[in-house]
Structure 1
Amino acid sequence: MFTGIIEETGTVKNIIHGTFTKIVIKCSKVLEGTKIGDSIAVNGVCLTVTNMSNESFAADVMPETLRASNLKDLKIGSIVNLERALQVGRRMGGHIVTGHIDCVGKIIDKRQEKNAFIFKIAINKEFTKYIARKGSIAVDGISLTVVEDGYDYFTVSVIPHTMLKTTLGYKGVGDSVNIEVDILSKYVEKLIGKKDIKDLLKENGFI
């Protein structure tokens, strides 16, 4: 479980292809207190640490993870967002992020609005039903607030600090981003899907 608050960016040091893919990431902060078997989100993808040194960690990447995320596009030298798993008892910024990617989006517009940057991201329309204006969404593992929810896209506003401290500062039109919708929206869909919305509202005293 993660929060979508990026702790640092790391650099892909090595990618080893074989019967499975192993990725080695150079970093510093997320290594503090980390041990083999712990989880680290890489561009929003939950990976398990399989090896580590004083300046890097390694993780195995399953074929399904490569198919479902933009990790398949990484190269040696690529910059990635990193976050250690949520520690119980600490303040929780952002929102609940599982590290399980729903789809890969594509940046189709990026513009500056005063001190903020507005990103317009196209996604498969089957996932827009989970996105709501002012709701939460994780983009490459970054917890962001939705500004506009369209038929097959959404927009987010990004503050200068986030641009400076995450990979969004390097990304532009045409680049891919991992998308994880708010898990709460899926539970709501499952609940409502079994009942008429009016009956559900009556049962809970809203009408």
Structure 2
Amino acid sequence: MLKTVVLLCVLSAVAEPLCRPDASVSNKVRLSIKTALGDEAYAWDDNEMFYFRATVAYAMRRQIMGQIFEVSDILVCNETARVSFWFVVTRPNTGVLVGKEHVNEAVRKHRDRFNNAFMLTDDTLEFIDIPPILTAPFEPDTPPWLIVFGVVMGVVFAGIIFLIGSSVVQTKRKKKQKTVGVNEESNAVNEGAYNMSFSDDEQFTRI
């Protein structure tokens, strides 16, 4: 009698589906393909689901080294026409469910793989309860203070060069003006001397 009860319990456990929405290790996925791609949206079919399961298997291989996860190890259930479903992961050749923390970490680390595979984003390919890793803030190779210092020094050097250039130009202008003044004075003296000699010649001519 005891053996019969144990056998019934084992058969009941085996018959119970591993992928259930209320299971502690299940994850829900929701896709908004039409929202993301508009008129270029593709239809979600068995091929797309196979691709999704293969991507999960890849992420799990990267997460748990030494275990070769296959597509058959990714179980999907409760799929809806508006593209949402639940999935669980089993260990290869055992049927033992992988802990949710391992699955979540694998998905989180490879969110870009999922997004690129289905041409979606974190907002249109949602792993419910698995927030994506926040992108680290951009840090430039050159510190901001050094950039500011360089700009200020550039302005200072430009100002110095401008002042030196202006001084040189003004000096040249003054020299040029002085030269022109001397030449004009010399011409005036020469013209005066010429006029005087011309007047003397005129006087002699009259005599």
TM norm. shorter chain > 0.5: no
Comparing both structures, which one devotes a greater share of its residues to helix? 2
Query: What TM-score, normalized by structure 2, do the two folds share?
Result: 0.23
Comparing both structures, which one devotes a greater share of its residues to strand? 1
Query: What TM-score, normalized by structure 1, do the two folds share?
Result: 0.23
Higher relative contact order (Cα pairs below 8 Å, separated by 6+ residues)? 1
